[in-house]
Structure 1
Amino acid sequence: MANNDPLSDGSSRPAAVDFIDNRLPKYHPAFINSSCHYDAEDGKYIPNTQDTSSTEKSSAVSLSDSSTKLEPRIPSPRPNWTNIEALKSWNNLFPAALSRLISTSQEPSGRSKTEHSIRQGKNDWNAVYNTLENARAKYEQSNKMAGLLRKTGENIAPVAQALKIASNMDPGSPYSTPILGAVKTAASVRQQVLEEFNDIIPKIYDIEFFLVTFPDDHNISNASLDLTVTILLAIEQTIGFFISNRFVRGVKAMGMGASYETDLLKSLNTIKAKSKTLLEEADKSQMHKFDRHSQMMERGQQQVIQGQAHLLNTVRSLLIDHEKQKKEHSLQTITTLTIQNETLRSISPIQSSMWLPPPHRPTPAHAWYLNQDTLRWMMKIADADLIDVSVINNKKDSLAAKDIAQAEQIVHTQIFCNWIVSPNSAKMMVHWDLQPPKIVAGISPLSLFCSTITQGLRIKQRILSVLWFCGRHIDPSEVGEQVGGHCMLASLIDQLLRQHTFDTRSLSSSFNMASLQQNDYNELMGLFEWLVKELPNTTTLFCIIDGVALFEREEHWGQSAPVFLKMVNLTNDPTVPAVVKVLFTSTPGTGMVRGAFEQEDLILEVGNLPRWASAPSEERMTRELGG
């Protein structure tokens, strides 16, 4: 496949790609791993697949820093319910459970005409529970054991006392054996009733929790309904146990022996079984939910990776157009100057020797000068842009996929294409005021957009780019002293020095070196302009600033405003040989900086762009922009 990239060295892999893939990883860990790799046959970056990611890892472009550690997202705590009236899902389920109880089992004979019925006029849990409490109070009074059954649970000392009395009877007495057996049987039933009903309220809370956690899961709702019906049936039978005559209970206990209150005990055991079933269904639902979540996360990550590759290739295609237009523009200029020169020579009486270049004058030697490494050390903010990009790439999963996809639509707008393709210097502002996206730790989808297109810019020869994320540099607790416009200016200088070789021997005659070594703000402003003007006319410089509105705050505006103005003015400065492209992005929109773009209608509002139904797709962007 022919390589039509004007920025290539003519081989199947452009020299810029070889430089980024093979050399940059030695200078910074941000370039070690990648979600995309350059495909020589297609001549573009494509997302890594499972098969190619391991083989391409050594030659992949990445801006993720493995040394950057993310703070784990702390899940919200489980709700701590203390009032059953607040259990919305449980109370919604209760009428259906009571209706099923009425339709599937008969009420004890004569119960419907008494105050102890839970079916007649009982429409909610409180009414049923109050009926149980009234029966319990009658039971306590008849047995003179106040406090035997409470909502929070009590001990069973009275039961133990009854067993002790019975066991102290004369074993030889003809009454001791049946009485002892009856007492033991009755005590065992009372003990089991007390223990099981101590656990009823926690089971209700479990039902509420699972219904809320899995609101659309029919398995959970059915298991919850079955458990609730079983609880109501057990309550009805327990009320019968409480309100029965004490003497009758004793006779039944002696006469029935092991069969005493079997229906009630069976219901209590059924509660355990139904509760276990609900827990098992919840485990299954949780596993299913986790599996679906994992699949969705994997699909979302793949879509974001594909979207980034698409964006990279979009930028690459636009840069190729930009370089072609620059060459055409240069050829037109050379042709025009040549014609003018020949015309002047044909009509001018001046000797042709006058057109010879002036004699070479050696540049005076300087006693000393600051080399680029020293200048970078003086900035004290080395590689801040690479660190920021690494953090942003690692945070991208916290951003909404639909917002990332909408931000990607910027590259399809006419204003963006004009800005990046034009052979001349240009400026552009991107706002996101309408329906603004979610912002995480000062990072927005626009931050990811700026990070991605910069990755595409930095694989091109004769393309330089400086980058700054205001949202990453407003909180001293996160980035220390790297806050505000002064640090932004120092970082822009550091990035220029890292990407281009300058002749710094004349600096000492142009700047106050003592002030420059002290990082004096005014000296740095002059140095930034000097460096830009030293770039050759074959170079295009991209200045990309994200989160501009954050630096319009009062505490930052004094030192950030001159830097913003300097970058904008460089796009209109005829003494700057290089092409300068300035892109400012901000969510929310800016209040003051917008004035430099508004009159020329150079502001793009992302909120007005179409919202794609699909997730971000790097493959889609690659196809559309690469084509």
Structure 2
Amino acid sequence: MVEFKIKYPVEPEARVQKECSIRSKTSWEEVLEVLEASAAAYTRNTGLKGAFKKTKEFIESKADTVERVTKVIPDVDYAKPILGTLTFLLQAFQQTSKVREEVKAGIEKLKRKFGLVEDYIAMYSTKEKVVDAVTTLHVTILKAIEDVIGYYTRHIIIKGLSALWDGKNYEKSLLQCLENISKDGNELIHEANTAHKQETHEIAGNVNKLEHWYKSANDGISNIINEHVRRVEARLEREESRREKEKARYEEDRRFFQRQIERQQAENKELKQLFYRATTPEPAALPAPTVVTQHDMLDFLISTDIETADIDYILSQRELIIPGGHDRTEQIMKSTQLREWLVQDDSKELLIHGNSEPEPISPVSFFCALLMRNLRGVEQFRSIAFFCGCHPYEDFGGARPMIMSLLAQLLQQQSFDLGFIDHELAYRMDDGDIGAFCFVFRQLVHQVKNTESVFCVIDGINFYEGFDEESLQETAYVLCSLLDLTRERGVIFKILVTSPSITVDTRLAIEDEDYLALPQRDANALGYSDLRFERQWREGFGAESEG
């Protein structure tokens, strides 16, 4: 509308007075309402205008008759004005009837142009030339509408005079505007087609770029997958190699330990034979010199009471652990797996995943500390523990300090016969041979009475899983040695392995029925209570132990 007013600054006369002005309208709907109202007024056959329209229609259909009638009208003074007027209107209406058909056809084209403009402006609103072509077409349409309204609202006698005086040029500006609509519409179509070709070219370019990107991305993904496969295969090869080395080492240790047992048995047999062959009392033979005493062994291990310090420290952190919303003691104590692990009168293993963050001291660590405090209060139990989170690798932790600590704890709880330790075995321990420590630990467990149980707790095993290959192999060796004790006759060995988060290698070594994954903590669960724990301990385990 702004462009229309700039191009055609002077509004035709009488538009405002006849309430047919479109220049104050703010939408196409309002403009078309004025156009329709003008057309309706034009077609209305009432009043003086209606009389003229009826006379016009009659004269147009009976032109020849009127000409004949005028010839016979008397040539009197009062008849001359009527005769002149009829003749004048007849000629004028013959011209305007042609214009009317062209105007009607032009308006039909105008309606179709509106739909075309709306489609193109929606599709190519970002194309400047298309928008300019649309604006030009809008201005042309507004000019045509204004001229059509002028045609409809102009007095019919004036139309007749215009037709009579202008002849074939009658309403030339109106017809020219209607022609301009077609011209500007064609220009819009041209610009739209040009924009379409440009967008098609851009889309084709984008498709090519997308195909290139897709190929690059696909190649990249394939490379990543292939690299992952290669790493997995390499890891499997390393794992297989590790297992083979572990198996060979285990076999070597087995043969060594078997020789030790056979040598011990041979010495015992020889001593028995010498005893029974004796016919006269002789001075008692001196026992074979002991290579290592129990006191010497404890001094050598240098790990006395570290688990006691760990337990005291963990229990002292209860105010930091329990209020954090991760208390697991209630869930563990109510689990069927723990109850079976505690009360069954044979060896058993159990793995617990805490379903929490991998913190060095976790809520599961707190439970393990409570469990050890109560186990050590039962006389017929031998209880040992190691908290991996308290002894990280970078602080001289690992599988070797673990087995040495367990060995020292067991030595502190009863007297053992260490005669099976010869110089070769002592040298191997002094050299840090982890297999030698595992062998000595196994021999000590077999010396525990079969009426007594050995409880072993390893907390935070996940901290020893993700280290270097050598450390992982040592951890696997120690853990397998401990798990193997649950399958040997003549001993009751119960091992509980825990982790605040999910483990991989350890989980593969445990049967499904010996695995407990803690659920998410219930928001309505009760907080930890010492009294409730003690009651659950007495009701769950203590009562059955007494029975």
User: TM-score under structure 2 normalisation?
Assistant: 0.44
Q: Whose relative contact order is higher, 1 or 2, with alpha carbons under 8 Å and at least 6 apart? A: 1
User: TM-score under structure 1 normalisation?
Assistant: 0.39
